[in-house]
Chain A
Amino acid sequence: MRILGLSFDYHDAAAALIVDGVPVAAAQEERFTRVKHDRRLPENAARWCLERAGLSAGDLDAAVFYEKPFRKFSRILAGCLGTFPSSAGLFRRATAAWVDERLWVGPRIERAFGLTQDKVLFCEHHLSHAAAAFYCAPFDEAAVLTIDGVGEWATAAVGRGRRGQDGGWDLSLDAEMRYPHSLGLLYSAFTAYLGFEVNEGEYKVMGLAPYGRPRFADQIRAMVRPFEDGSFRLDLDWFVFQSDPTRAFARRFEEAFGPARAPEAGDPAADPRLCDVAASIQLVCEEMVLALAREAHRRTGSRHLCLSGGVALNAVANARVLRETPFERVWIQPAAGDAGSALGAALYAAHALGRPKRYEMKRVDLGPEHSPAAAVEAFRRAGLAHEEIGDESKLCGRVAGMLAEGKVVGWHQGRSEWGPRALGHRSILADPRPAAMKDTVNEKIKFRELFRPFAPSALGRLAGEWFDLGGSPAPDPYRFMLATAPVRADRRGRLGAVTHVDGSARVQTVFPDQDPLYHRLIESFGAATGVPVVLNTSFNLKGEPIVETPEDAVATFLASGMDALVVGTFLVPNRNAAAAPRRKVWAVSAKQSDAWAW
């Protein structure tokens, strides 16, 4: 059975193709269009998925959209009713957008792919999240927890996946929390207050938090009003996202926490108050995630937890779920946000319509790969001299040597990663040892905020010696950089560039079964330096999508201060005659005017 999953119209449009229950291709539209968070119908991504599998749209058994558009619109209207008469602006903007385009998801999919109406299906938003986790996890049975901003009505849901009586795999959500009571929207309100872009800057809040003290936590707890069963009701007097199309927090926020930070204002880490606000919301978020996870355990009694939804990208909260809940194993969908729901919707339909074999997601390279000829052509066009190093172990030795000398290397290999993290296929790599490397990469390469930490990729079998991973083998989420871990105290001095101010790191454990080439590279770096860890950050500049093609890689290489570039087995050992780094915006960010739940 061939099923195409689609998510679009909100942010981070994506497509995923499932053949006989196995994902064969999945990608975000932004990688093709170079529009960050592109939310348009992902025609490019979908067509590529089909091409990759040698199929045409006519071969599809179904195309599945990741949510229920009519139900979502009814929630928006109900929200406008509930906040009348202050929601006139929201009603105008949302209704115009929905009547113009979003209500017609079905016909748009039919038109785009030439499908008949009966082949277009609609999953539920949180079921899509849940399926993206459970149907990729290595569990026969598990509790399932999804937490995000909002889907149709649901903002969090709890349920269970297990083998059904007919031998299939059943997934159901038993209870949900409903809009506007949302942990994701609460966190996003603080993201906006701290001057970061919603649906993008949440990582920055998490990165800023360790610089502060959570002295506002009690005030935030009071606005959340938690119940004993992990659920909660937001005190809506603090928020306006339910009636205002562009704002999230009410004036009371500024009375309680001081003036909001203007977008793109100076370094927030230099302002202790802003750091304290970030620390406070992060702490409360962790407490709420823990309470929800404990409730999932209480309801199911399961030893396993599958976690998904945008909040499941909060690596610090995830680390606490690993350590502080009764679950023995936790699996988190690497593309936990809405993009991942394209995959989830398709998997849900595959299991609902057929009885496919169980799939386990061990690696995330589900995106496009590019031919050596494309790389050579990209070098030629840019006038970059390159060497071909046919042998992979020679290549790894050479690159490891460059990293050890302090060079920063762009690393473009094989198929691109599914999800927001670069895990060694579209990465910028550097030496994790000198603390100054963090500033070098932030300032000269990525042009991003100095307070933000960088993640390490560590050799899986040795990672426990360097990071306290809370068990051996390391919990699954570390394979996909989905949780933080304390850097062992005696190793922090040797991992200066990847140890955050609180002594933690968002570490990725790399095993040969997951990525043999990247594993070999880290091994080579370890052999050269005694440190089996490299600094790994996504191959993009601030505000741009991660690179996809060799051409994208070359453009980013030239626009930044990277020292060398590797594409496949080709090495561009230096910048040659290319001029000094020239920062140029060659990709744009999708307008996020509708970041607030409509």
Chain B
Amino acid sequence: MNKTTDSGALARVRRRFAEAVRAGARVQAAVLLTAVYFLVLGPAALLTRLLGVDLLCRRRAAKTGWTERAPRDPRELLRSQG
């Protein structure tokens, strides 16, 4: 009986510890990704704007929303992930 209670308590402690570790990892990842966002994407965003790159096709002067596609070999197409 005592043994069961002990192992139950131990399991609870272990679970809480794992939860705390996971929560800590989430916070750490969020901090890291925020830093990457502002320190890496920030300058890149500035550069794309200076170069006039229209990443989201916002330009009003466009006459069509279609982008023509170049033909690709189907076998080749299936090989790549990008």
Contacts and interface: CB of A to CB of B under 8 A. Distances in A.
Interface in A71-125: 71, 74, 77-85, 87-88, 91-92, 95-96, 105-106, 121-124
Nearest to B81: A70
Contact of A348 (B56, B58, B64, B74): B74
B52 interface: no
A233 B57 contact: yes
Contact of B57 (A71, A181, A348): A181
B46 to A, nearest CB: 8
B30 A92 contact: yes
Which size class do B's interface residues fall under? 20 to 34
A74 B41 contact: no
Interface residues of A, number: 52
Contact of B42 (A84, A157, A158, A348): A84
A105 to B, nearest CB: 7
Interface in B20-75: 29-30, 33-34, 36-38, 41-42, 44-45, 48, 55-58, 60, 62-69, 71, 74-75
A232 interface: yes
B56 A236 contact: yes
B81 to A, nearest CB: 4
Contacts of A69: 81
Given A175-B66, A229-B64, A91 B41 contact: yes
B61 to A, nearest CB: 11
Contacts, number: 118
B1 interface: no
Nearest to A227: B64
Contacts of A70: 80-82
Contacts of B33: 91-92, 95-96
A508 B62 CA distance: 42
Contacts of B30: 92, 96
B11 to A, nearest CB: 25
Nearest to A96: B29
Given A83-B56, A172-B71, A122 B65 contact: no
A229 B64 CA distance: 7
Given A68-B81, A121-B78, A81 B65 contact: no
A80 B38 CA distance: 11
Given A349-B78, A352-B75, A79 B56 contact: yes
B66 A74 contact: no
Contacts of B77: 123-124, 127, 352
B79 interface: yes
B81 A177 contact: no
Contacts of A81: 41, 44-45, 48, 55
Interface of B: 29-30, 33-34, 36-38, 41-42, 44-45, 48, 55-58, 60, 62-69, 71, 74-75, 77-82
Name the 10 nearest CB pairs between A and B, nearest first: A231-B65, A82-B55, A352-B74, A84-B45, A70-B82, A121-B78, A82-B56, A175-B66, A70-B81, A92-B33
Given A95-B33, A122-B80, 5 more contacts: A78-B55, A81-B48, A82-B48, A84-B37, A91-B37
